[in-house]
Chain A
């Protein structure tokens, strides 16, 4: 099954290698990985999606926690959450056939973000299946797609969490982590 992990990691050189290396060691293929700054200074937030047996979730999360630079890990599993992906798609389009693409973009609630006489650039945010849908339709017209760039999935739990992950892990852990961070302050 597909597992989705959200983790906070220290924003330092080599940390991503450590995360990636763990999955290589476990012989698990990472199907999607996004990383960026989080609401917490010095910490990056990553969303990692991988295919592994249903029982593997516990061990992956426990192993991620064993990495020294990993601060929090949340196994999203089946929890109510919002998942999005961003895609940039460049398609060949002349002034004559643009209108048709404009319509498509409208239907898929995407946006045109760049336009030249030979091509245009579509930006689309959504769940994976919607992005796949748009690409599918664009593909029906042979040779039209010039480039696709997809961000991979980003996931956040639904509902109110001061720092979603911490709450999801239960207050006890959050407190310990919080104290640890407090102790780290000079």
Chain B
């Protein structure tokens, strides 16, 4: 017996809670969910076949959460993950926290034991709403079928409104089994209440415009909020009209074209020296949808001390949190910029002349370039920088690259130049290893027409490698690049720099990843020299299905430049001037 979900969306009907769940998701525009079944969510799974929703069976619920997250990041829509009670629900948590720290709209649905036994330590019972309270934007415990549609619709509203974030809806088994009248329209949440402390006043706008007009050395700091608010055009107009260079946070990459002459690249701990130098020298910072994270500012006390600061941000709790600002425009970035732009005049019309400042910054680039590894002669070593550079070149900067966490993540950010928003998908705030493979699966569902690449370290790849089976089962075309250093590379780097090379617990034995892929039915190839990289990337792209490349790169390479944690932006450790391995030989 099939159910015409669309009819139910317009005509109130009596349905089971399980049917209400799926009907509501359909009504909210969901066509794909990522999940894993179990006893407490079985009634829901039993009803699933009646609805036009594709269910992707994951191999671990953490994968489900990351897939929902990757789906949301790639598509801009709300991602949905489903899990059973107890261990199914707790397995979601890392993925939920990852989405929370990066403000990703996501709804997680969990089953729970029957409401009659809630609180009795029944089989596979956990208080998942209690556990996820600090890592969700909000959560719901639903124990009656008649409350389900409203809770779910409210969850979607919360997930996507204001500063987005994950919401969990925990549904008891009896609520899935009971019936209630399903009335989609009546379950509509009340009008969304914007945060009452949003504040964009004329005086603030005037002050911001004045600061911009008079600035000699301004820098725009563009963060994740640019793509979340869809403010790419507005940021670009501001930059171009007032000739202001743009530095990006890790999650901001792609929201301002890498090839744009005003793009400085990534700022912060592993940002290029000229970007951080520019920030330290600046007399005005215009922060757009970014939160002055500690990985971006180093020591707060010495951060951009010469600069006035304008902060345009949707979350009032972020204002003056890490860095004290002079003008706060608290609201939707796009709306605020729309109001600000008419007050900014271009150079010809009395606006600022930014040329000497841009020239100063340009002057700093030369020095970095000669230190850049990809400009050094080929000494036979394969560096991750080469891999990223070739991957960027061959894909034209148009692929969706999903990175894991560690050195490779930073090399990707440095050498893959993103032109478009939502083309770099990475866990910035939580820094979750194991994110890349499942998030890429979600991303592929979010934008099936795009070329999707996983870039992961040998450590993080092994954390969620079981999802290779999901790729095969779902017949996905995803290319996988493992940057294999034989170490937990980023931790090894910290041990090298700050713990006297005491490589405790960082050397890592891995399976042969090509064979591992092969066991899943995924072809692959190992790559050992710089000369092989391009052909291998082409081979992967040309393959019909998924393809894995195991890049056996230099083991003890480090990410430069680097601001040691807790140091100032101008105290960067710069790239060595020569091939680092040659230098090591002199030690």
- Is A63 an interface residue, CB under 8 A from the partner? yes
Using an 8 Å CB-CB cutoff, how does the interface string of A158-186 with B read, 1 for contact, 0 for none?
Answer: 00000000000100010011011001100
Cβ of B133 and Cβ of A17 under 8 Å apart?
A: yes
- Is B310 an interface residue, CB under 8 A from the partner? no
Which residues of the partner chain A approach B137 to less than 8 Å between Cβ atoms?
66, 68
Contact residues of B: prevailing secondary structure: loop
- Is B319 an interface residue, CB under 8 A from the partner? yes
Cβ of A66 and Cβ of B195 under 8 Å apart?
A: yes
State how many angstroms separate the Cβ of B323 from the closest Cβ of chain A.
12
Cβ of B196 and Cβ of A177 under 8 Å apart?
A: yes
Cβ of A65 and Cβ of B190 under 8 Å apart?
A: no
**Given A173-B196, A183-B190, A62 and B133 contact (CB-CB distance below 8 Å):** no
State how many angstroms separate the Cβ of B514 from the closest Cβ of chain A.
44
CA distance A9 to B138 in the complex (A): 14
Can you name the residue of chain A whose Cβ is closest to the Cβ of B162? A66
**Given A55-B320, A59-B317, A63-B317, A17 and B191 contact (CB-CB distance below 8 Å):** no
State how many angstroms separate the Cβ of B151 from the closest Cβ of chain A.
12
CA distance A59 to B313 in the complex (A): 14
CA distance A61 to B196 in the complex (A): 10
Which of B138, B141, B158, B319 makes the CB contact (< 8 A) with A58? B319
Interface size grouping (class) on chain B: 20 to 34
Which residues of the partner chain B approach A14 to less than 8 Å between Cβ atoms?
129, 141
Which residues of the partner chain A approach B138 to less than 8 Å between Cβ atoms?
67-68
CA distance A95 to B174 in the complex (A): 61
- Is A40 an interface residue, CB under 8 A from the partner? no
**Given A14-B129, A21-B133, A65 and B194 contact (CB-CB distance below 8 Å):** no
- Is A18 an interface residue, CB under 8 A from the partner? yes
State how many angstroms separate the Cβ of B427 from the closest Cβ of chain A.
20
CA distance A169 to B198 in the complex (A): 12
Number of A-B contacts (CB under 8 A): 52
- Is B545 an interface residue, CB under 8 A from the partner? no
Which residues of the partner chain A approach B195 to less than 8 Å between Cβ atoms?
62, 65-66
Cβ of A180 and Cβ of B197 under 8 Å apart?
A: no
- Is A25 an interface residue, CB under 8 A from the partner? yes
Cβ of A58 and Cβ of B130 under 8 Å apart?
A: no
**Given A65-B196, A66-B195, A183-B190, A17 and B320 contact (CB-CB distance below 8 Å):** no
CA distance A21 to B316 in the complex (A): 19
Which residues of the partner chain A approach B141 to less than 8 Å between Cβ atoms?
14
Can you name the residue of chain A whose Cβ is closest to the Cβ of B165? A66
Which residues of the partner chain A approach B321 to less than 8 Å between Cβ atoms?
59
- Is B134 an interface residue, CB under 8 A from the partner? yes
Cβ of B196 and Cβ of A176 under 8 Å apart?
A: yes
Which residues of the partner chain B approach A179 to less than 8 Å between Cβ atoms?
191
Cβ of A17 and Cβ of B134 under 8 Å apart?
A: no
CA distance A176 to B191 in the complex (A): 10
Using an 8 Å CB-CB cutoff, how does the interface string of B172-191 with A read, 1 for contact, 0 for none?
Answer: 00000000000000000011
Cβ of A61 and Cβ of B190 under 8 Å apart?
A: no
Cβ of B190 and Cβ of A180 under 8 Å apart?
A: yes
Which of A55, A58, A184 makes the CB contact (< 8 A) with B190? A184
Can you name the residue of chain A whose Cβ is closest to the Cβ of B138? A68
Which residues of the partner chain B approach A180 to less than 8 Å between Cβ atoms?
190-191, 193
Cβ of B134 and Cβ of A21 under 8 Å apart?
A: yes
Which residues of the partner chain A approach B316 to less than 8 Å between Cβ atoms?
58, 62, 65
State how many angstroms separate the Cβ of B162 from the closest Cβ of chain A.
8
Can you name the residue of chain A whose Cβ is closest to the Cβ of B163? A66
Using an 8 Å CB-CB cutoff, how does the interface string of B190-225 with A read, 1 for contact, 0 for none?
Answer: 110111110000000000000000000000000000
Using an 8 Å CB-CB cutoff, how does the interface string of B124-146 with A read, 1 for contact, 0 for none?
Answer: 00000110011001100100000
State how many angstroms separate the Cβ of B408 from the closest Cβ of chain A.
32
Which residues of the partner chain B approach A25 to less than 8 Å between Cβ atoms?
134
Cβ of A176 and Cβ of B193 under 8 Å apart?
A: yes
Can you name the residue of chain A whose Cβ is closest to the Cβ of B196? A173
Which residues of the partner chain B approach A66 to less than 8 Å between Cβ atoms?
137, 195, 315, 317
CA distance A73 to B129 in the complex (A): 24
CA distance A62 to B130 in the complex (A): 22
Which of A55, A62, A177 makes the CB contact (< 8 A) with B197? A62
Which residues of the partner chain B approach A62 to less than 8 Å between Cβ atoms?
195, 197, 315-317, 319
Q: Which of B308-366 contact A (CB under 8 A)?
A: 315-317, 319-321
CA distance A59 to B195 in the complex (A): 13
**Given A62-B316, A65-B316, A176 and B190 contact (CB-CB distance below 8 Å):** no
Using an 8 Å CB-CB cutoff, how does the interface string of A10-37 with B read, 1 for contact, 0 for none?
Answer: 0000100110010001000000000000
CA distance A160 to B555 in the complex (A): 71
Which residues of the partner chain A approach B317 to less than 8 Å between Cβ atoms?
59, 62-63, 66
State how many angstroms separate the Cβ of B128 from the closest Cβ of chain A.
13
CA distance A18 to B316 in the complex (A): 19
Which residues of the partner chain A approach B130 to less than 8 Å between Cβ atoms?
17
Q: Which of B441-490 contact A (CB under 8 A)?
A: none
State how many angstroms separate the Cβ of B187 from the closest Cβ of chain A.
12
State how many angstroms separate the Cβ of A183 from the closest Cβ of chain B.
4
Can you name the residue of chain B whose Cβ is closest to the Cβ of A68? B138
Using an 8 Å CB-CB cutoff, how does the interface string of B86-100 with A read, 1 for contact, 0 for none?
Answer: 000000000000000
Cβ of A65 and Cβ of B197 under 8 Å apart?
A: yes
CA distance A183 to B317 in the complex (A): 27
Most A Cβ at <10 Å: residue of B133, B134, B138, B320: B133
Which residues of the partner chain B approach A184 to less than 8 Å between Cβ atoms?
190-191
Most B Cβ at <10 Å: residue of A25, A59, A179: A59
Cβ of B133 and Cβ of A58 under 8 Å apart?
A: no
Can you name the residue of chain A whose Cβ is closest to the Cβ of B330? A62
Which residues of the partner chain B approach A59 to less than 8 Å between Cβ atoms?
317, 320-321
CA distance A55 to B190 in the complex (A): 34
State how many angstroms separate the Cβ of B492 from the closest Cβ of chain A.
32
Q: Which of A118-167 contact B (CB under 8 A)?
A: none
Cβ of B158 and Cβ of A68 under 8 Å apart?
A: yes
Q: Which residues of A contact B (CB under 8 A)?
A: 14, 17-18, 21, 25, 55, 58-59, 61-63, 65-68, 72-73, 169, 173, 176-177, 179-180, 183-184
In the assembled complex, 29 residue pairs joining A and B whose CB atoms fall closer than 8 Å, in A order, are A14-B129, A14-B141, A17-B130, A21-B134, A58-B316, A58-B319, A59-B317, A59-B320, A62-B195, A62-B197, A62-B316, A62-B319, A65-B195, A65-B196, A65-B316, A66-B137, A66-B195, A66-B317, A67-B138, A68-B137, A68-B138, A68-B158, A72-B196, A173-B196, A177-B193, A179-B191, A180-B190, A183-B190, A184-B190
Other CB < 8 Å A-B pairs besides A61-B197, A63-B317, A179-B191, 7 of them? A58-B316, A58-B320, A66-B317, A67-B138, A177-B193, A180-B191, A180-B193
Top 9 nearest A-B pairs by Cβ distance? A62-B317, A184-B190, A62-B316, A68-B138, A183-B191, A173-B196, A180-B193, A63-B317, A183-B190
